Structure 1
Amino acid sequence: MDILSEVIGSIRTGQVYARRVEETGSWGWRYDEFTGSGFHVVLRGQGWLLTEDAPPRALRVGDVVLITRGARHGLSSEPCALYDLPPEPTGPPPPLPGPTEFEFLCGAYRLPNGKVHDYLTTLPELIVASSERGGPQATTLAELLLADLSAPRPGAEATRSALADLLLMHVLRQWLRENGTTDGPYTDDPVVARALRHIHSAPHRNWTVAELSTAAGMSRTAFTRRFTRVLGKPPRDYLTGVRLSRAERLLREGDMPLMAVARELGYSSEFAFGAAFRRAHGISPGRFRDSSRTDRRVPAIR
């Protein structure tokens, strides 16, 4: 499985929420941290993306903001400090009395029982895919999604999820293409990148630090130190995260017995797999599967 397909599959283990937002005059909202990934697609007008530690960035029609791992951010009609904005309102926004000046599609994959794929931790927290370089694809996908939101049809749930997946895939592909990498997790450290390609190509393999350091052309100590500095966790912990992200997808999307899931991911026993999963998610694999099925019965996109 290629890395982007794996990432989209892991994100899909959560519920997908989407809605149209229309604003006029002076407006702005702060979106607080959450577990998952999200996106905004500008459909009409101009606005500003606000973050905690970067200058405001202008947004134009067709631009897409990808929130890779639920980072706090804001959207506003004018540049300002992030914490000057009120938190986003809950529930459907009230209709505006007159014509609107700014319109965008707001969506999120929320993972109540999971964590974002470790691949996403190698990317910036916020990625802006510019309409000037990405073409009209994102706007087209957003308009198709909005059309399905406004007039539900048979198969709508599958269609909406697929359109949201395509939208995220488009943004990730554009960003990776512009940053010169398409064959593995993004990092500007070539040594760590070689190790990541090995891990993601065969996460079921019981990679040792010695094997990864040899592939990277470094000593074990120097490699571990460098890997941890770049990714914020040692190689074994990163490998565990990749395995468990794949486990979430297998548990949500299929009926494979837990022992078979454990073997698929390289664990020696169902017990070892269950212990690792509970440490990471605070819930057993069986309960995660049951809760995921319950979540699928709840309408998620509105």
Structure 2
Amino acid sequence: MDLVSKVVRAARVGTPGSRVIRQYDSQGIRFSAFEGTGFHVVLRGTCWLLSEDQDPVGLEPGDVVLVTSGAPHGLNRVPCALHDLPSMAVRPAAPRPGPFDFEFLCGVYQFQQGRTPQYFRALPDLITLSPDYDRSPRTRALIDLLSAETSEADLGAAAALPALLDLILIHVLRQWHEQQGSAEWPRTDDPEIAAALREIHKYPQRRWTVTRLSDVVGLPRTVFTRRFTEGVGRPPMSYLTSWRLSLGARALRETDATLATIAREVGYSTEFAFSGAFTREYGVSPGRFRRSTAALIPPVAD
């Protein structure tokens, strides 16, 4: 399985959500920081993406904002300071008839336990994209489908929602990576570190150590550790642990495999070692995590 597919499948452990929001009377909207990954798609009108430390970015119909790890941000008809915008209501009012400034579609996986997986946190906080809908009409079709499913409570909507979120995320990430000219995750211009990431992603179950990873890519241990930490944002073993546990969380969410089986598949020698590491990362035991996500999220077929 390719890396983007693994990343998006791992996001399924979050609670899926989607809504269409219209903004009236020159009132923008501010989204507070959260643990999760999501996106906005401008459906009608124009607006500006606002953040705490970046210049405003103008958005037109069809533009996508990928919120990789829940950074605070806002949307408004005109540029302004982020803190000047009203915070999004927990239950926004239904769209009313009459003229509006702009309309956008939101999709999100919000994590109830633990943190947003490292591979999302390694990306820029906010990514803007103008998809080539002529070259990729499926992206437009998926957005239209999600918008329709969000607006109508039809039978099967609970299963359709995560499936559509998955597909839109895949298409957006695919196009962004194509524009960046790189398929690495996280993106790095260091060829040895990119090779180490490929090994970690492809073989998480191997008994990796810093020494073994550095030997694979042909670097001295101290040099490898420094370059990996600078390029990825955290030390090799910390990144490896995060990747293994995100795969374990997905297995808990999607399968009935025993803890011992999952532990072996993601690189832990015993279920007790896996359980301890998982609890430290997610704040709950694997068993409790499995029960809570089973209650919140319907299964999705591959």
- Per the TM superposition, whether the score is higher than 0.5 is yes
Asked if the contact 1:114–1:248 (Cα under 8 Å) also holds between the matched residues in 2, the reply is no
CA distance in 2, matches of 1:231, 1:273: 24
1:279-294 alignment runs, 5 A limit:
279-294=280-295
Q: For 1:206-227, what per-residue CA distance to the aligned partner results, in whole angstroms no more than 9, with x for missing partners? A: 1121122123332101111121
Asked if the contact 1:15–1:110 (Cα under 8 Å) also holds between the matched residues in 2, the reply is yes
**Partner-residue secondary structure (3-state), 2:74:** strand
Alignment pair present for 1:169 and 2:170: yes
Asked if the contact 1:121–1:231 (Cα under 8 Å) also holds between the matched residues in 2, the reply is no
**Partner-residue secondary structure (3-state), 2:115:** coil
Question: Structure 1 residues 137 and 43, CA, compared in 2 at 3 Å: closer, same or farther?
Answer: farther
Give the Å deviation of 1:185. Answer: 3.4
Give the Å deviation of 1:174. Answer: 0.6
Asked if the contact 1:36–1:111 (Cα under 8 Å) also holds between the matched residues in 2, the reply is yes
CA distance in 1, matches of 2:278, 2:254: 17
2:107 maps to 107
Question: Structure 1 residues 20 and 71, CA, compared in 2 at 3 Å: closer, same or farther?
Answer: same
Asked if the contact 1:195–1:212 (Cα under 8 Å) also holds between the matched residues in 2, the reply is yes
1:1-302 alignment runs, 5 A limit:
1-132=1-132, 135-182=136-183, 184-296=185-297
**Partner-residue secondary structure (3-state), 2:9:** helix
Gaps (5+ residues) in structure 1? 298-302
Report % sequence identity.
Answer: 50
CA distance in 2, matches of 1:90, 1:154: 24
CA distance in 1, matches of 2:26, 2:186: 39
Give the Å deviation of 1:89. Answer: 1.4
Q: For 1:145-193, what per-residue CA distance to the aligned partner results, in whole angstroms no more than 9, with x for missing partners? A: 1212233333222222111111111110011111111254322333321
CA distance in 1, matches of 2:141, 2:129: 14
Q: Which amino acid in structure 1 is aligned with residue 88 of structure 2? A: E
Q: Which amino acid in structure 1 is aligned with residue 116 of structure 2? A: V
Gaps (5+ residues) in structure 2? none
CA distance in 2, matches of 1:28, 1:187: 36
Asked if the contact 2:36–2:69 (Cα under 8 Å) also holds between the matched residues in 1, the reply is yes
How does the TM-score come out when normalised to structure 1?
Answer: 0.93
Q: For 1:30-78, what per-residue CA distance to the aligned partner results, in whole angstroms no more than 9, with x for missing partners? A: 1111111011001111100011111100001111101011111111110
Asked if the contact 1:23–1:100 (Cα under 8 Å) also holds between the matched residues in 2, the reply is yes
How much is the aligned-residue C-alpha RMSD, in angstroms? 1.7
Asked if the contact 1:50–1:73 (Cα under 8 Å) also holds between the matched residues in 2, the reply is yes
Q: For 1:86-133, what per-residue CA distance to the aligned partner results, in whole angstroms no more than 9, with x for missing partners? A: 211120324435222311101211011133222212211111111357
Asked if the contact 1:62–1:138 (Cα under 8 Å) also holds between the matched residues in 2, the reply is no
CA distance in 1, matches of 2:190, 2:89: 40
Asked if the contact 1:184–1:200 (Cα under 8 Å) also holds between the matched residues in 2, the reply is no
